[in-house]
Structure 1
Amino acid sequence: MLIKMIPEIGHFALVIALLLAIVQGTMPLVGAATRRPLWMAFARPMAAGQFLFVAIAYACLTASYMLDDFSVANVANNSNSMLPWYYKFSAVWGNHEGSVLLWSLMLAGWGFAASRFSKDLPEDMVSRVLGVMGLVCVGFLLFILATSNPFERLLPNMPSDGADLNPLLQDFGLIIHPPMLYMGYVGFSVVFAFAIAALLGGRLDAAWTRWARPWTNLAWAFLTVGIALGSWWAYYELGWGGWWFWDPVENASLLPWLTGTALMHSLAVTEKRGSFKSWTVLLAITTFSLSLLGTFLVRSGVLTSVHAFANDPSRGFFILMLLTVTVGVSLLIFALRAPRVSHTVGFNWVSRDALLLINNILLVIITVTVLLGTVYPLLLDALGFGKISVGPPYFNALFVPLTVLMCVFMGLGPGARWKSMSARDLGRRVALSGVAALVLGAVLPLIFAEQWNLWVAIGLITALWIVLPMFRDLFDKTRNASSFGAGLKKLSLAYWGMQLGHLGVAVTIVGVAVVSHYNVERSVRMGPGDSVQVAGYEFTMTNLQARRGPNFLADTATIEVSRLGSERSFEMRPEKRLYIARGMPMTQVALRPGFFRDLYVAMGEELDGDDWAMRIQYKPFVRWLWLGALLMGAGGILAIADRRYRRRKTAEAPAPAAQEAHA
């Protein structure tokens, strides 16, 4: 009997969570405004209780999937009795209702974490932070209960089996990609809450930025890895071999990442120098607002994408109203408190402060460029002016040069000093790195391929220009120590995190430049016994057989691959699958990964006889794309581990010296 009531228990838990969120979003804020300690004390227990009940609701939905309870519409539409258990687990968030519930669980989880790890913060600040997060939770829980109930029943006419999970989502990448991405999206709610709390309390000093920086770094690291996992999934699952297509939903995840990157740097300057206060607050508001915009794009039905979840306009309208209220109220609070964020800290235009400001401006320009390319076609269509398509040519023509320009200033950062320095001194410090980057970047393309390519050279020069000044900076910071090892030990984890993050950017640029211009692709017709040569490798189809999987039928080709001039060989097995419940065909790519190249084979359509259309690709340095993202994410995590974020802090404590914390 209890098992049959699991969906009702989950629904009831969501109602209780909403009530707790309402209390969390009102009483602590009122208590902080009226200085009532008892009311402020509601913040932490309400955050913990809300997280508990949202977790119960999520566990109930997961149990419904695992128990094949097809009386629940969500389960019947997105699962099947033949579906492996691990895909049933990920199917919970492989649909609109479940994904919003996961979003709400993570939002409540971030709020609980903020309450748990803020014991040293002033009580009024904690109350405002958790109060703001409680209000955001109210919006999403209302959204679930009003428009996206995951526990809706099909009784008494329940199906005997489910419609199955979309075959595109039956993949390991989709088990880990959405949670990572959502952790990044939702994580920015914490720094947003800190910014609004600081505005409400009039405490826009270095203290609030020091409290907010670890949360920002953590959310940014999750979002970075989440975007990389999405790119990796699209690369091997969709069968076309691309790693980024400027899909509107891909862009939706990139937008908060860009402003989040600017926010991290702005927080560092505000903490160390007391400047950029307005920038920091506006970037915190903008970053979380763009996270909400991504939610609107994915769930409103205004676009078509393999990543989109819903096509119900009522859901889109609800999220649009939530976005409008969040942005409108936040900007109103900022406008009313604007005099408090003014500062008198000055700097010259040849300084690290100026370079960070320029890079922040460029990041915002890049964000606006991507946003316009994503939203403009939707606006034209909504206003009845016709349909237009904005594709990769637009984005590449603007995104690439702006990114290169940003990297130019990024390379100058390690050689610059805070506040002021002479242009001659800066030039002297970076001249050797610049010459080395130009020479090496111009020569290295000849090593990768026989044909020299200008764009590859520009990419390598840009990457080297980022990396080489880092070595000069490392030398400057350790040369006065008694030994090189002693000098390294004095460097903070925040410094190493920054270096690792910038190295990740350089590695990603190398991967993008090389694979975009030295990729080799051939579409061929192959049957058993046929051979083809691609990029110095010979591919021979040796066998073709049918097999049955747990919920699909597959035609599997065995391809023997050998490097020309070598006797060693290996096998690759691409598949063409037909998923039984949905009758949907899918391509299962065969990959031979390597640090410097991937071999990629995908089966296309079946031709006459035993012949198949095959796509064979040689993709040099493609793994560097995701390696760079992992390095960036690791850099963000490493910076959080810095000892100044682990020691006890009080409101009166001065901002610690940042040891040239960020370039």
Structure 2
Amino acid sequence: MIVEIGHFALILALVVAIVQAALPLAGAARGNVAWMEVGRSTALAQFLLMAIAMAALMHAYVTSDFTVVNVIENSHTDKPLLYKITGVWGNHEGSMLLWVFILSLCGAAVALFSNNLPPALRARVLAVQGMIGTGFLLFILLTSNPFLRELPPPLNGRGLNPVLQDPGLAFHPPFLYLGYVGFSVSFCFAVAALIEGRVDSAWARWVRPWTLASWCALTIGIAMGSWWAYYTLGWGGWWFWDPVENASFLPWLVGTALIHSAIVVEKRDTLKSWTVLLAIITFSLSLVGTFLVRSGVLTSVHAFAVDPARGSFILLLLLVAIGGSLALYAVRAPALKGGGLFAPVSREGALVLNNLLLSTGAATVFLGTLYPLFLDAVGGPKLSVGPPFYNKTFVPLMVPVLVAVAAGPLLAWKRGDLLGALQRLWAAFAAAVVVVLGALYVTSGGPVLAVLGLGLAAWTFVGVLAEWTERLKLFRIPARDSWRRARNLPRSAHGMTLAHLGLAISVAGIAASAFEVEHIDIVAPGGDLPLAGYTLHLDKVEKLQGANYVADDATITVKRGDAVIAVVHPQRRFFPLQQQTTSETAIRTNFLADLYIALGEPDQAGGWTIRAYWKPLVPWIWIGAVFMAFGGVVSLSDRRWRVGVASRLRAPAAQAAAGD
């Protein structure tokens, strides 16, 4: 009965979404306030219905209801409770339900926190949100229904993919979808603005918090996915330029550009048309990622390989959403004329440079991801685009971005002094030189590009701190006065500093990955494996029985000289139900470097393959990502986002009208 309630809630949600898409839009066109207000009530109703559907499917998983086909294919009675819950979105149908649930959550958030929006703009935003919901609810009900029954039910299910049975997967997809789908709000604001034909600084201020919140969630989601791949797959890598990884990275890149572009619209009333286009492209890339993962055109550990009919339906949705919004942009964008003029060397100019480089980088990744698929579709030769392509094309584009991150905020609006800004970055230049020389000495002239990458990270980190201390006049005025300036500084400024510091930290971790040491060998129990000054002693390998797997558990003592540093336990897990083996790596970290150990296959003589790596600074990759996301959260807490822009703008007009 609960399953039927969930299914019926989905159908009702579709009906509500259709009403939400039509009535508020008509009300805004006719000036009918009652019709416009329907958008808020339908958005809240749709969220409630989607919550019921989500809860119904989760109940079916938790109770192992094997009358539901989706539960049969992705769960098992012996599976731990956590993985029963994560199994809800560890498959195509459930993940799409989560996708639309988060879409309805975004619509409800707009309805609840939009009291300061002009009623017509709010109605149009919610109507566009309803159109997106209509399309994806139709997709679920017609091609991907998670509530289909199978009678009589089997005794047990087939279980979740063992690779996905990991605690990190409990949170990675929800955060990723919060980012993916959250950008729909910026998209809806862009389309609504095009319909109205008006974009101003108030519009930019309304868009920025929604974009920033989505960007924070996507940052955490990508970082979680990278960390999961690092410690779960046993390959020793954290990023593989996999097409599905690229699918999440693309909206992140363009979303970053959108955040910075919206600043220019808000501060200088220019770059309006470009900012609207970025909002459209950001969500469009999220939709492209949805197509890549679910169309069956990719074979990836991350992808849901489904039948092409579903891919065709999503492709049709893409054509309608992306094609329709771009067509509207082509018609209405010429009317969005920018106001403020600025010199090339200025804060605006630095932000434009940031936008151009990030957009070009996104285009490079997009080309590398889709070109092999396009070539295969037209009958061309099989082609693989891997790290060498991205290292030679994408990485050089990011170098001037990092240079500008330090120098740009020191430039004045409208017209800046580049020489003066560079002079204030003497400490950053000195830090970069010291780091480069120190790295060359320690690594005996190691990979030059990696050393320069460390120097660039030092330049960015110290440069960002220099800009922050400049704001506070640190060391130039009494500490009490600097503290007062810090308290009065907008939180968005502190958030920007934290996010840019996080970027520098991640870049340092990425650059240092070139210095890792790897040793792979077959070791018998009682044998040793040397690695970067450490000795890994294999004590024993024994069988362990897990909840739904059997593990080969190795006991390895890590020594440095005669001192025991740690005892670690890498595993190979065999899942009988799926007849699949996974790796459970052992990672010992001091946050300056990781000892990464994976247990491989045994040989006939009783030895075991051990893959061991020493990875300097690799934890900084994820520490930096946390800093970036936290910086975004600090910016979101800025009081300006909680004060009604529209009410402040309307107040003078109302007073003037009263005076007349």
TM-score range, shorter chain: over 0.9
Query: Counterpart of 1:349 in 2: which secondary structure?
Result: coil
In the TM superposition, what are the counterparts of 1:237-316 in structure 2 within 5 Å? 237-316=232-311
Report how far residue 433 of structure 1 moved: 3.7
205, 212, 218: which is aligned to 2:207? 212
CA RMSD of aligned residues (A): 1.5
Q: Is the 8 A contact 1:54 1:108 kept in 2?
A: yes
Does 2:393 align with 1:389?
no
Asked if 2 retains the 8 angstrom alpha-carbon contact of 1:414 and 1:469, the reply is no
Please state whether the residue corresponding to 2:238 is helix, strand or coil: coil
Find 1:436's aligned residue among 430, 439, 462.
Answer: 430
| Aligned-residue offset at 1:94 | 0.2
CA contact (8 A) 2:510 2:618 kept: yes
CA distance in 1, matches of 2:382, 2:179: 32
1:445–1:453 Cα contact (<8 Å) kept: no
Q: What is residue 425 of structure 1 aligned with on the other side? A: 420
Deviation per residue, 1:485-536 (Å, 9 max, x gap): 1221221100001011100110000000012x11111111112101111011
**Partner Cα distance (1:652, 1:110) in 2:** 25
* 1:582 pairs with 2:589: no
Aligned counterpart for 2:464 among listed residues 446, 452, 470: 470
Give the CA deviation at 1:468.
Answer: 2.2
Matches of 1:422 and 1:114 in 2, distance apart?
41
Matched, 1:554 2:551: yes
Partners of 2:453 and 2:507 within 8 A in 1? yes
Q: Secondary structure at the match of 2:147?
A: coil
Q: Please tell me the residue identity of whatever aligns with 2:524.
A: G
Query: Structure 1, residues 537-593: CA drift from partner, whole Å, max 9, x if none?
Result: 1111112211110101111110011112x4233211111111021111111111112
Instruction: Show CA shifts across 1:71-102 (max 9, x none).
Output: 11111011111000110000000000000000
Report deviation, 1:339.
3.1
Give the conservation status (yes or no) of the 8 Å contact 1:433–1:468.
Answer: yes
Q: Is contact 1:207–1:651 with CA below 8 Å preserved after alignment?
A: no
Any stretches of 5+ residues in structure 1 without a counterpart? 656-663
CA displacement at 1:154 relative to structure 2: 1.5
Whole-angstrom distance in 2 between the partners of 1:344 and 1:74? 54
Aligned-pair CA distance for 1:654: 8.9
Match of 2:524 among 524, 527, 538: 527
Classify 1:654/1:506 alpha carbon distance in 2 versus 1 (closer, same or farther; 3 Å): farther
Aligned partners of 1:122 and 1:651 also within 8 Å: no
Distance, in Å, in 1 between the alignment partners of 2:505 and 2:482 is: 26
Tell me, yes or no, if structure 1 residue 542 matches structure 2 residue 539. Answer: yes
Secondary structure in 1 matching 2:596: strand
For residues 433-484 of structure 1, the C-alpha deviation after alignment (integer angstroms, 9 at most, x for no partner) is: 4531431231231575455431232112211221222233223322386622
CA distance in 2 between partners of 1:408 and 1:477 (Å):
19
In 1, Cα distance between equivalents of 2:142 and 2:469: 59
The answer to whether the aligner puts 1:610 opposite 2:606 as a matched pair is: yes
Deviations, residues 608-628 of structure 1 (Å, cap 9, x unaligned): 132111101111111100011
- State the match for 1:629 in structure 2: 625
- The Cα of 1:331 is off from its aligned counterpart by 1.3
- 1:59/1:277 CA distance change after superposition, 3 Å: same
Aligned length: 647
Q: Name the counterpart of 1:87.
A: 83
C-alpha deviations, 1:39-58, integer Å up to 9, x for none?
11101110011011111111
- Matching of residues 106-255 of structure 1 within 5 Å: 106-156=102-152, 158-255=153-250
- Residue 150 and residue 447 in structure 1: after superposition, are their counterparts in 2 closer, same or farther (change >3 A)? farther
Looking at structure 2, the residues matched to 645 and 126 of structure 1 have their Cα atoms a distance apart, in angstroms, of 17
1:374-415 deviation line (CA, Å, top 9, x unaligned): 000000100111211111110111111111122122222122
Deviation at 1:189, TM superposition (A): 0.5
CA distance in 2, matches of 1:587, 1:435: 44
Please say if 1:491 is aligned against 2:489.
Answer: yes
- 1:654/1:390 CA distance change after superposition, 3 Å: farther
The 10-residue stretch of structure 1 (333-342 or 577-586) with the greater mean CA deviation from structure 2:
333-342
Q: Deviations over 1:4-63 (max 9, x none)?
A: x22211111100000000001110011001111111110111001101111111111111
Q: Deviations over 1:187-244 (max 9, x none)?
A: 0001111111112122201111111111110000000010000000000110111000
Distance 2:26 2:404 in 1: 45
Give, in whole Å, the separation in 2 of the partners of 1:199 and 1:114.
Answer: 18
1:597 aligns with 2:593: yes
Letter of the 1:623 partner, please give it: P
Aligned to 1:47: 43
1:649 — aligned with what?
Answer: 645
Q: Partners in 1 of 2:89 and 2:348 — Cα distance? A: 43
Distance 2:442 2:207 in 1: 43
Residues 501, 635 of structure 1: 8 Å contact kept: yes
Over the matched positions of the two proteins, sequence identity in percent amounts to 48
Structure 2 counterparts to residues 346-365 of structure 1, below 5 A: 346-365=341-360
Counterpart CA distance in 1 for 2:614 and 2:404 is 34
> Are positions 1:506 and 2:500 aligned together?
no
Kindly indicate whether the alpha-carbon contact (under 8 Å) linking 1:444 and 1:457 is maintained by their aligned counterparts in 2. Answer: no
Quick one: distance in 2 between partners of 1:413 and 1:433?
A: 16
Tell me if structure 2 keeps the 8 A contact 1:25–1:134. yes
Give the C-alpha shift of residue 310 in structure 1: 2.7
Asked whether the equivalents of residues 557 and 564 of structure 2 are also in contact (C-alpha less than 8 Å), the reply is no
CA shift digits 1:402-434 (9 cap, x unpaired): 11122122222122111103443334333x145
Structure 2: how far apart are the matches of 1:543 and 1:307? 34
Question: Residue 568 of structure 1: SS of its match in structure 2?
Answer: strand
Code of the aligned partner of 1:462: L
Conserved? CA contact 2:405–2:464, under 8 Å: no
Between 173-182 and 419-428, the greater mean CA deviation after superposition: 419-428
Instruction: Out of 61-70 and 471-480, give the one that drifted further.
Output: 471-480
Supply the distance in 2 between the matched residues of 1:74 and 1:65 (Cα, whole angstroms).
9
Q: What is the one-letter code of the residue matched to 2:482?
A: F
The question of whether the paired residues in 2 share the 8 Å contact of 1:481 and 1:487 is answered with no
In structure 2, what residue type is equivalent to 1:575? Q
2-side partners of 1:322 and 1:438: how far apart? 48
2:411·2:418 contact (CA, 8 Å) conserved in 1? no
**Is the counterpart of residue 25 in structure 1 residue 24 in structure 2?**
no
**Which string of whole-angstrom CA distances, capped at 9 and with x for unpartnered residues, describes residues 290-337 of structure 1?**
000000000000110000013211111111111111111111221221
SS state at 1:385 partner:
coil
What's the counterpart of residue 661 of structure 1? Answer: none
1:660 matched to which residue of 2? none
DSSP-derived class of the 2:304 partner: coil
- Residue type matched to 1:636 in 2? G
TM-score by length of 2: 0.96
Superposition TM-score, scaled by structure 1 size: 0.95
Check conservation: 1:204, 1:340, Cα contact below 8 A.
Answer: no
- Measured against aligned partners, the alpha-carbon deviations of 1:88-137 in whole angstroms (never above 9, x if no partner) come to 00000000000000000000001101111111211111111111101101
The one-letter amino acid of 1:626's match is: W
Cα distance in 2, alignment partners of residues 409 and 154 from structure 1: 59
Aligned in 2, Cα 1:427/1:554: closer, same or farther, shift over 3 Å? closer
C-alpha separation in 2, matches of 1:444 and 1:401: 23
Alpha-carbon separation, structure 2, partners of 1:70 and 1:649? 52
Aligned partners of 1:170, 1:560: CA distance in 2, in Å? 27
